[in-house]
Amino acid sequence: MHKKVVLLPGDGIGLEVIHAAKDVLEAIASQFNHTFEFETHLIGGSAIDTEGTPLPDHTVEACQRADAVLLGAVGGPKWDQLPSHLRPEKGLLGIRKALDLFANLRPIKGFPTLLHASPLKEEVVTGSDLLIVRELTGGLYFGQPSERRDNNQTVVDTLAYTRHEIERIVDKAFQSAQLRRGHLTSVDKANVLESSKLWREVVEEKKINYPDVKVEHLLVDAAAMKLITNPTSFDVIVTENMFGDILSDEASVLTGSLGMLPSASLREDGVGLYEPVHGSAPDIAGQGIANPLAMILSAALMLRHSFGLNEEARRMEEAVEHVLERGYHTRDLHILNGMVVGTEEMTKLVVDFIYSLSSSEVTK
Ligand code: IPM
Ligand code: MN
């Protein structure tokens, strides 16, 4: 299989972790006889510095021509004082919108060796395995242009959704639940917001098409609480953009390792952008100590969701599990009696595991 992949390292540790994902993908390509053609482009603060905009046209055009996009992270204190239309985050929001990546999948599953570092009691968090399906191109993030009125005395942000936008993300979530344990929790604020009332109506209408999925509705405040008190009660959560942003950060710490969580942002036809949930970590950037595993796991999601390479994706995930089980970890993680390694060493351990497979284990 031949695929074109655009790399958007972005800022901070984005550069280091993208490099790691590329090395691992090259190992997969060579073991399974694929070719991945890589092209690197600017986004975020690094694009502001060199081109004066967080999302240059050539970046958008390259992503539109690609089969999939890998993104490191954007942002950093260097650009915090810029006006909001010029901030690095605008690059990320802009590329999500330009590619129509409406479905953001954030799987959260603990690795057994890391669970002891969870802020929750181990017996509460053990067995939690959930998927947040976050709507990514609507809601407060993309309403009517925000504005300040009356000489800074009034501000307006708008939460807008079309029925179509709700329907397509709800369908995606039902389909995801069918592939998992068949349980969908729709999260809204239907006791207050009109957008949430329509959201709930759409979920009720759609559920007839998915009789094998059990649906429940939960208000977002209750959902935030239940994620902490009873995380194992969730399978798939579907929610609008801003609620999904907040709940996914909350859920990400359940497993004791934000540095391990990948995400996929998908368009209807399967084209996708893949990025770790963690940010650009400017405090440790350039030191060679960043954890590349969330980026590597994001590349595995790319193989699965955009290229349909399920076995290759599984191999990458197994490689990560294997390295952790042997006790290797980066500084952000804690493994009892483990050994701390840097970004490059961690990447090499994953790559070596992939190359160690005998040809009989490689089926394609
Ligand atoms: C995320 C991030 C972004 C978001 C920011 C950087 C704009 O927090 O991907 O969750 O809010 O979507
Ligand atoms: Mn976020």
Q: Whose CA is nearest to atom 1 of ligand 1?
A: 245
Q: Does the C-beta of 135 come closer than 6 Å to ligand 1?
A: no
Helix, coil or strand: residue 230: coil
Which CATH entry fits the domain spanning 1-103+258-364: 3.40.50.300, 3.20.20.70, 3.40.1000.10, 3.40.718.10?
3.40.718.10
User: Residue 255's pLDDT is what?
Assistant: 83
Torsion angle, alpha carbons of 111, 117, 123, 125, to 10: -60
The two most distant CA atoms of the chain are separated, in Å, by 71
Looking at 11, 189, 206, 332, which residue is catalytic? 189
Q: Classify domain 129-253 by CATH architecture.
A: 3-Layer(aba) Sandwich (3.40)
Helix extents (H) in 8-56: 14-32, 45-51
Q: Does the C-beta of 245 come closer than 6 Å to ligand 1?
A: yes
Region class of 188: left (phi > 0), else alpha (psi between -120 and 50), else beta: beta
221 belongs to the catalytic site? yes
- Average pLDDT, 10 consecutive residues per value, the chain (364 residues): 98 98 98 98 98 98 98 96 91 97 96 89 94 98 90 95 98 97 98 98 98 98 98 98 96 86 95 95 97 98 97 97 96 91 98 82 52
Q: Does the C-beta of 240 come closer than 6 Å to ligand 1?
A: no
User: Residue 56's pLDDT is what?
Assistant: 98
Where are the domains positioned within the chain? Answer: 1-103+258-364, 129-253
User: Residue 364's pLDDT is what?
Assistant: 45
Q: Which of 79, 93, 108 to mutate to test the pocket of ligand 1 (most atoms within 8 A of CB)?
A: 93
Whole-number CA gyration radius for the chain: 20
Q: Whose CA is nearest to atom 2 of ligand 1?
A: 245
Q: Which residues surround ligand 2, an ion (CB under 5 A)?
A: 245
* Same fold flag, 1-103+258-364 and 129-253: yes
- Tokens 């770790």 correspond to 276
Looking at 49, 249, 283, 352, which residue is catalytic? 249
How wide is the angle at C-alpha 39 spanned by C-alphas 305 and 87, nearest 5°? 85
Ligand at minimal distance from the CA of 250 is 2
Q: Which of 89, 96, 141, 240 to mutate to test the pocket of ligand 1 (most atoms within 8 A of CB)?
A: 89
User: Residue 181's pLDDT is what?
Assistant: 98
Q: Does the C-beta of 92 come closer than 6 Å to ligand 1?
A: yes
* Closest atom of ligand 1 relative to the 104 alpha carbon: 9
* Closest atom of ligand 1 relative to the 93 alpha carbon: 7
269 belongs to the catalytic site? no
Pairing of strands 214-219, 183-188: parallel
249 belongs to the catalytic site? yes
Q: Whose CA is nearest to atom 7 of ligand 1?
A: 89
Distance 287 CA to ligand 2 centre (A): 24
User: Residue 139's pLDDT is what?
Assistant: 98
The 10 Å CB-count burial string (b at 16+, else e) for 140-166 is: bbbeeeeeeeeeeeeeeeebebeeebb
User: What pTM was estimated for this model as a whole?
Assistant: 0.94
Number of alpha helices (DSSP H) and beta strands (DSSP E) in the chain: 12, 14
